[in-house]
Amino acid sequence: ASEMSKDLMPGPYPRTPEERAAAAKKYNMRVEDYEPYPDDGFGFGDYPKLPDKSAHERDPWYQWDQPDVRHNWGQPMHWDFDMYIRNRVDTSPTPVPWHTMRKHFLLFLSTMLIMFGLGEIYPSYRPVGPKQYPFNDLYLERGGDPNKEPPVVTHYEI
Amino acid sequence: METTLLLNTSLLLTLAIILTPTLLLPVSKTSSNSPTTITRTVKTAFLISLIPMTLFMLSGTESITSYWEWKFTTNFKIPLSFKMDQYSMMFFPIALFVTWSILQFATWYMASEPHITKFFFYLLTFLIAMLILTIANNMFLLFIGWEGVGMMSFLLIGWWQGRAEANTAALQAVLYNRIGDIGLILSMAWLASTMNTWEMQQAPLPTQTPTLPLLGLILAATGKSAQFGLHPWLPAAMEGPTPVSALLHSSTMVVAGIFLLIRTHPLLANNPTALTLCLCLGALSTLFAATCALTQNDIKKIIAFSTSSQLGLMMVTIGLNLPQLAFLHISTHAFFKAMLFLCSGTIIHSLNGEQDIRKMGGLQKMLPTTTSCLTIGNLALMGTPFLAGFYSKDLIIESLNTSYLNTWALLLTLLATSFTATYSLRMTLLVQTGFPRTPTNSPTNENNPMITNPITRLALGSILAGLLITSYITPTKTPPMTMPTTTKTAAVIATALGIALAMELSTMTHTLTYPKQNPHLNFSSSLGYFNPLMHRPNTTNLLNSGQKIASHLIDLSWYKKMGPEGLTDLQLMAIKTSTTLHTGLIKTYLGSFALSIILILSTQT
């Protein structure tokens, strides 16, 4: 038979301290470290609940038995170990705390969006002005009275 | 001889020459393909592709040819058609020239690589896909090229597949590009349902194009061209070998998104919302990337962020409804960016793999040709008058200053221009000047002509390309002619301010003190915290919820709740409610039975 023997496979949730000790021995863990998942019907059995740390947090320079996954033979594997490999989720501590990162990023993003909104309301354009015509704004051509004094028109040079 | 015939023949000849090594693969057993033959193939193709470019420049000949038609359904046909217009005919020689130089450089850079022929094949396949994308006349062929460059990017970034960081970076590139592909497929679907064709020649709608398909196109460009929001893959892609970074992630692949928007610009032109979105997105990308480049210490990352920033500038040009100017910037940018990457590759190899600029210095005396070309590249990037970058960048900034647009976008682009000068000067100062901080026994040399020839060739291109292209191509839109002196010299002033800022900062930090942490430094050097904030929660939640749903919840629901335990719960509920109801008083029940029977019998008789 090539399968594992029955006593090496995961079993039901340990209820007595003897069962806990036997389960910890099975998983190569100390009884103090062994903590099973809570028995809430989700089918974890006596599998240990290891801390949620990814492979990134393990020493890159230590001579692991399997260097690519940073794991030694016989070491208990996390239930979600395929999520915590080096290609996927990284739980290593960030240089800056999470709430600071989130706050600064959202500040940056919101500032940008508000300023873009302001920029839409007050766009930039080359200076424009109404058209300026000679001869007192074409007073006579527009049917102005030739005898009356034309209104004063000031022109500007842009 | 008729010009269109000559044009079509020579362009097809170029494509055929490029395809030859792939066709020889199954035929020859005595592996006659080698890096040298592939380099020579690309050089021949470049020389042949000069013919259609000269024809176009001198006579303005364009053509659209169609070879075979896939009769998909009775009223939707997909022809294999090539569009040889200004954009594709200019892009071919430029891409082939840059690729030739990079391949020549790679014969030296990857000389110790055991699978060097496979590497060159991958680069060649990438080039074929990129050229298909450029010359495509319908969205289907463009999509083939689009996916092709994405695939080759994945294979090339993860070239050293034993390295977990390279695999993660390749995966990141593919996922971010895929998100962009959603947008592309959305707009292709809309195009197929509205215009009943995927050709690019349909007449633009007289009314405003609906915004949704344009959003899809903009999403595709955001993914492929690393605009803000889908940008983290581009700096991560520096895990690949330097020739890959030089070819894919500076000159050719990343411009595919912008090229898509250039090809579909008639659709964009009459939708101001889409144009404003392009403008704002481009302005944000260019500033964000320039800010991140200010505090990076890896030389390849600085150049990667510089690429990202220039791509944002190209997006800004699209937002100004100036596709031809965007294409000009693509062309000039290809030269100096590829050269910057090749120079950085020489520096990295000379220092035996050192990529940190804090451990470089004084290389001007040790690597004179390389560092001089690095300086020329940086000057062209900054838009020094009359080098290649000036012709495109200065025109863009002039058009920005003289248009009716979002003020904040204008300010951000000007700020990014000065930041460009700052980080380029920072890189130059730390790498080339000062005392050497490198170990003393580095194999620093530029003796091999395979190094110096490509770099000097690209340097010549960086100096002349802008002048040549603008002299021979007539602009389709009138450039702004009159503006005040301040506006005219705005780009130069912004660049000068950036240089002044860099000089000031470098004199400030010449004392050997470590920079203390402050929020701005942290923000810039951690790339705006975007990477951890987006990557960690999303992947954790997705994978966790997938695991929970697929194994725990489904097991729980089918094996337990729908089966024994569910029945138990229902029964228990019924039992609990009914237990309180019945009181068990048998004698009372029997008495009521007897009473009711007596009553019935008494009423019967």
Cβ-based burial of A5 (10 A; exposed 0-12, middle 13-18, buried ≥19): exposed
Q: Which residues pair with B84 in a beta bridge?
A: B63
Q: How far apart are CA B374 and CA B352, in angstroms?
A: 19
Q: What average pLDDT does the segment B540-553 reach?
A: 88
The 10s digit of each residue's pLDDT in B339-358 is 999 999 999 999 988 899 88
Residue linked to tokens 């021949």? B44
Question: Which of A79, A84, A88, A89 to mutate: most B Cβ within 10 Å?
Answer: A89
- What 8-state DSSP symbol labels residue B294? T
Residue with the larger pLDDT of the pair B514 and A116:
A116
| Nearest-by-CA chain A residue for B171 | A87
B25: nearest Cα among B122, B111, B106, B151: B122
Q: What average pLDDT does the segment A16-35 reach?
A: 91
What distance in Å separates residue B373's CA from the closest CA in chain A? 37
- CB-based contact, A101 to chain B, within 8 Å: yes
CB contact at 8 A, B561 and B324: no
pLDDT value for B266:
87
Q: What average pLDDT does the segment A16-41 reach?
A: 90
List of residues 6+ apart from B325 with CB closer than 8 A: B317, B392, B395, B396, B399, B475
pLDDT value for B203:
64
| Nearest-by-CA chain B residue for A107 | B528
Q: What average pLDDT does the segment B559-577 reach?
A: 83
pLDDT value for B511:
57
The packing angle between helices B164-195 and B139-157, to 10°, is: 180
Q: Mind spelling out the 3-state secondary structure of B182-239?
A: HHHHHHHHHHHHHHCCCECCCCCCCCCCCHHHHHHHHHHHHHHCCCCCCCCHHHHHHH
CB contact (8 A) between residue A43 and residue B552: yes
The 10s digit of each residue's pLDDT in B171-182 is 999 999 999 999
What distance in Å separates residue B522's CA from the closest CA in chain A? 8
CB contact (8 A) between residue A123 and residue B406: yes
pLDDT value for B29:
64
CB contact (8 A) between residue B543 and residue A91: no
The three-class DSSP label of residue B77 is strand
CB contact (8 A) between residue A102 and residue B533: yes
Cross-chain CB nearest to A120 (options B171, B406, B528): B406
B25: confidence class by pLDDT, cuts 50, 70, 90: confident
Q: Is B392 left (phi over 0), alpha (psi -120 to 50) or beta?
A: alpha
The three-class DSSP label of residue B450 is helix
Residue linked to tokens 């420049």? B57
Residues from chain B contacting residue A119 (CB–CB below 8 Å) = 280, 406-411
Cross-chain CB nearest to B526 (options A88, A95, A116): A95
Residues from chain A contacting residue B171 (CB–CB below 8 Å) = 87
Q: What average pLDDT does the segment B64-93 reach?
A: 89
Cross-chain CB nearest to B532 (options A86, A101, A112): A101
Residues from chain B contacting residue A89 (CB–CB below 8 Å) = 536, 539-540, 543
pLDDT value for B30:
62
pTM: 0.88
Q: What average pLDDT does the segment A64-79 reach?
A: 92
Q: Is the pLDDT of residue B299 over 70?
A: yes
Cross-chain CB nearest to A104 (options B276, B529, B556): B529
The 10s digit of each residue's pLDDT in B48-68 is 999 999 999 988 888 888 888
CB contact (8 A) between residue A105 and residue B529: yes
What distance in Å separates residue B543's CA from the closest CA in chain A? 7
pLDDT value for B524:
85
CB contact (8 A) between residue A119 and residue B404: no
- CB-based contact, A124 to chain B, within 8 Å: yes
A98: nearest Cα among B468, B597, B551, B540: B540
Q: How far apart are CA B499 and CA B479, in angstroms?
A: 28
Residues from chain B contacting residue A88 (CB–CB below 8 Å) = 539, 543
Question: Which of A39, A109, A116, A121 to mutate: most B Cβ within 10 Å?
Answer: A116
pLDDT value for B510:
63
Residue linked to tokens 């060739």? B457
CB contact at 8 A, B98 and B334: yes
pLDDT value for B284:
95
Q: Which residues pair with B32 in a beta bridge?
A: none
B217: nearest Cα among B193, B185, B177: B185
The 10s digit of each residue's pLDDT in B220-260 is 999 999 999 999 999 999 999 999 999 998 888 888 999 99
- What 8-state DSSP symbol labels residue B33? -
The 10s digit of each residue's pLDDT in B140-170 is 999 999 999 999 999 999 999 889 999 999 9
CB contact (8 A) between residue B539 and residue A116: no
Q: How far apart are CA B502 and CA B524, in angstroms?
A: 16
CB contact (8 A) between residue B284 and residue A104: no
CB contact at 8 A, B374 and B428: yes
Q: Which residues of B touch A (CB under 8 A)?
A: 164-165, 167-168, 171, 276, 280, 284, 402-411, 483, 519, 522-523, 526, 528-530, 532-533, 535-536, 539-540, 543-544, 547, 551-552, 555-556, 560
| Nearest-by-CA chain B residue for A104 | B523
Q: How far apart are CA B589 and CA B80, in angstroms?
A: 90
CB contact (8 A) between residue B407 and residue A119: yes
Q: How far apart are CA B220 and CA B102, in angstroms?
A: 27
Cross-chain CB nearest to B406 (options A90, A116, A126): A116
List of residues 6+ apart from A107 with CB closer than 8 A: none
Residues from chain B contacting residue A90 (CB–CB below 8 Å) = 532, 535-536
Question: Which of A105, A109, A110, A121 to mutate: most B Cβ within 10 Å?
Answer: A105
Most confident of A63-67, B430-434, B561-565: A63-67
pLDDT value for B509:
67
Q: Is the pLDDT of residue B485 over 60?
A: yes
Q: Is the pLDDT of residue B31 over 70?
A: no
pLDDT value for B579:
82
Question: Which of A44, A96, A103 to mutate: most B Cβ within 10 Å?
Answer: A96
Residue linked to tokens 């719960």? B569
Q: What average pLDDT does the segment B530-556 reach?
A: 88
Residues from chain A contacting residue B533 (CB–CB below 8 Å) = 101-102, 105
Q: Please, what is the average pLDDT of chain B?
A: 89
Q: What average pLDDT does the segment A115-138 reach?
A: 85
What distance in Å separates residue A5's CA from the closest CA in chain B? 24
Q: Is the pLDDT of residue B204 over 80?
A: no
Q: Please, what is the average pLDDT of chain A?
A: 87
Q: Is the pLDDT of residue B372 over 90?
A: yes
Question: Which of A82, A87, A99 to mutate: most B Cβ within 10 Å?
Answer: A87
Tell me which residues of chain A, numbers 40 to 69, contact chain B at a CB-CB cutoff of 8 Å.
41-43, 68
Q: Is the pLDDT of residue B512 over 60?
A: no
The three-class DSSP label of residue B249 is helix
B507: confidence class by pLDDT, cuts 50, 70, 90: confident
| Nearest-by-CA chain B residue for A108 | B528
Cross-chain CB nearest to B533 (options A88, A105, A119): A105
Distance of CA B460 to the CA centre of its chain: 26
Residues from chain B contacting residue A42 (CB–CB below 8 Å) = 552, 556
CB contact (8 A) between residue A95 and residue B522: yes
pLDDT value for B576:
87
CB contact (8 A) between residue A42 and residue B402: no
What distance in Å separates residue B492's CA from the closest CA in chain A? 20
Beta-carbon neighbour count of residue A137 at 10 Å? 16
CB contact (8 A) between residue B560 and residue A41: yes
B514: confidence class by pLDDT, cuts 50, 70, 90: low
CB contact (8 A) between residue A96 and residue B552: no
The 10s digit of each residue's pLDDT in B422-472 is 999 999 998 998 888 888 888 888 888 889 999 999 999 999 998 999 888
Residues from chain B contacting residue A116 (CB–CB below 8 Å) = 280, 284, 406, 408-409
Residues from chain B contacting residue A115 (CB–CB below 8 Å) = 408
Q: How far apart are CA B108 and CA B252, in angstroms?
A: 22
Q: What average pLDDT does the segment B272-294 reach?
A: 93
The number of C-beta contacts closer than 8 angstroms across A and B is 91
What distance in Å separates residue B542's CA from the closest CA in chain A? 10
Q: Which amino acid is at B506?
A: S
Question: Which of A39, A102, A112, A125 to mutate: most B Cβ within 10 Å?
Answer: A112
